[in-house]
Amino acid sequence: MNRGNFGSSIGVLLAMAGSAIGLGNLWRFPHLMGSNGGAAFLIIYVCFVFLLCLPIMFSEFIIGRRGAANTVRAYKVLAPKSQWHWIGIMSLLASLLVLAFYSVVGGWTLNYIWKALRFSFTEGANFTEMYHLSVTSTADSLFFSIFFLLVTAGVIIAGVKNGIEKWAKILMPALFIIIIMVAIRSLTLPNATEGLKFMFSPDFSKITGDTVLAALGQAFFSLSLGMGCVQTYASYVDKKDNIVKLSSMVLVSDTLFAIIAGIAIMPAVFSFGVSPEEGPGLLFVILPDIFSQLPFGGFIAIFFFFMLFVAALTSSISMLEVLVAYVIEEMNVKRVKAVFLTGAIALVLVVLNSLSQGVLSDFKILGYNMFDICDKTSANILLPLGGMLMVIFVGWRLKKSDFIDEITSGGNVKLKEWFLNFTYFIIKFVAPIVVAVVMISSWLL
């Protein structure tokens, strides 16, 4: 079967970076850092990204490209007649959960575009209240999150290559420039150094098992790792493309984005006297406040939220694609039908998640509402677990020669012997143990 491919290496890079860079960097990272003690969280996060997640990303890439199929079938191809494909099934579940709450936040970005278009961010307005009103309102929340899901589905039907890739090429660099501008403005506010201190001078006494797990979960989340996303995209990647280079570039750009987003937000948080522990609303409270004080802020706000929406979209399509690729291949249906089917299932969850911020906020399981459950179970359990099983698969089930063949793209990419051995060692021993220890100790501590 012709599964379709990416047009070029640069297309692959953009699609993968598009998947990685999203609300995770600009919305989730700042608020997690805010409520987990700032600098200590940042340091742990960066260590996880570079030392642990890079080899895990290689592994997921290898499974995807070598298996050349959807996230479940890839395991069946590489390890016939075994139970490994359950990792793939777990990936499907994780994609659905992430997509469900992601669409709600994606809806907030649309809501804020709408507000920006009406120039609602006036100086001195109560932005905290504005945020709370928007997310708890049933009509607003449902309308915008469903709209976000529909756009995601629409793009997936139209095909990724010609639509979103072209847009992402223009809009992602633009987003980068705007966030740097906002960061500069934020740094020149009174008391900005307090925010920098919070981000860069660590207080290690604040570290708990939960902080470490939150940092690990965020590293997976931000890199789209551990739920078949990288794998599905990798299955469309040319056999000659350089896995090591692609993964490293995605990783560096993603991390840079997150840190700059932090610099854009934290100094302003301290300058405006907001608590960094404000939670998920942080981005949506602080940035409108900054925009309201900038010359031409009204227009910058429109651009910014529009680009935030695009960044979210290039990520949400990568989640839906995991499910769609599976349905197309396993149920033998056309793309359009597969999108309708998976979209309908996602819709039910999106509605529940969206209402869980308002009318259903009292419906809690173990003290968490639906939104928090989807967010926390996926990032703190399913993604790390998925990633751990993937490295175990590559380290213990595949042969070392297969690992080397795939990571060097069949000998096309020259890699140093020590690099190969070192990476293999991390994949085989270090990564599974570290992930397991972090997860288990955070449950016990």
Q: Are 427 and 58 in contact (CB under 8 A)?
A: yes
Q: Should residue 229 be labelled a site residue for ligand TRP when binding is judged by CB under 6 A?
A: yes
Candidates 78, 273, 260; CA nearest to 184 is: 260
Q: Which is nearer to ligand TRP, 102 or 270 (CB)?
A: 102
CB 209 within 8 A of CB 444: yes
When asked if residue 22 is in the footprint of ligand TRP (CB under 6 A), the reply is yes
* Angle of the 431-444 helix axis to the 209-222 helix axis, nearest 10: 130
Q: What count of other Cβ atoms lies within 10 Å of the Cβ of residue 86?
A: 12
Site for ligand TRP in 115-144 (CB under 6 A): none
Q: For residue 218, state whether it binds ligand TRP (rule: CB under 6 A).
A: no
Q: Binding segment for ligand TRP among 15-23, 77-85, 167-175, 355-363 (CB under 6 A)?
A: 15-23
Asked if 419 contacts 251 with a C-beta cutoff of 8 angstroms, the reply is: no
Looking at residue 359, the DSSP 8-state letter turns out to be T
Terminal CA-to-CA distance of the chain, rounded, Å?
50
Residue 155 contacts ligand TRP per CB under 6 A: no
103 scored as a contact of ligand TRP (CB under 6 A): no
Binding span for ligand TRP by CB under 6 A among 5-13, 159-167, 173-181, 314-322: 314-322
Question: Least distance in Å: CB of 189 to ligand TRP?
Answer: 26
Q: Is 98 in the site for ligand TRP (CB under 6 A)?
A: yes
Closest approach of Cβ 173 to ligand TRP, in Å?
A: 17
Which listed range, 16-24, 149-157, 164-172, 430-438, lies at the site for ligand TRP (CB under 6 A)? 16-24
3-state secondary structure 38-68: CHHHHHHHHHHHHHHHHHHHHHHHHHHHHHC
Residue from 11, 18, 24, 37 in contact with ligand TRP (CB under 6 A):
24
Check if the beta carbon of residue 53 is closer than 8 Å to that of residue 219: yes
Would you count residue 91 as binding ligand TRP (CB under 6 A)?
A: no
Residue 221 touches ligand TRP, criterion: CB under 6 A: yes
23 binds ligand TRP (CB under 6 A): yes
DSSP letters for 382-431: IHHHHHHHHHHIIIIIS-HHHHHHHHTTTTTS---HHHHHHHHHIIIIIH
- Residue of 227, 301, 324, 352 that binds ligand TRP (CB under 6 A): 227
Name the residue nearer to ligand TRP (CB basis): 192 or 229. 229
302 torsion bin: left (phi>0), alpha (psi -120 to 50), beta (else): alpha
Sign for the CA dihedral angle at 152, 155, 157, 159 comes to negative
Residue 423 binds ligand TRP, judged by CB under 6 A:
no
Summarize as ranges the residues that interact with ligand TRP (CB under 6 A): 19-20, 22-25, 98, 221-222, 224, 227, 229, 315, 318-319, 383
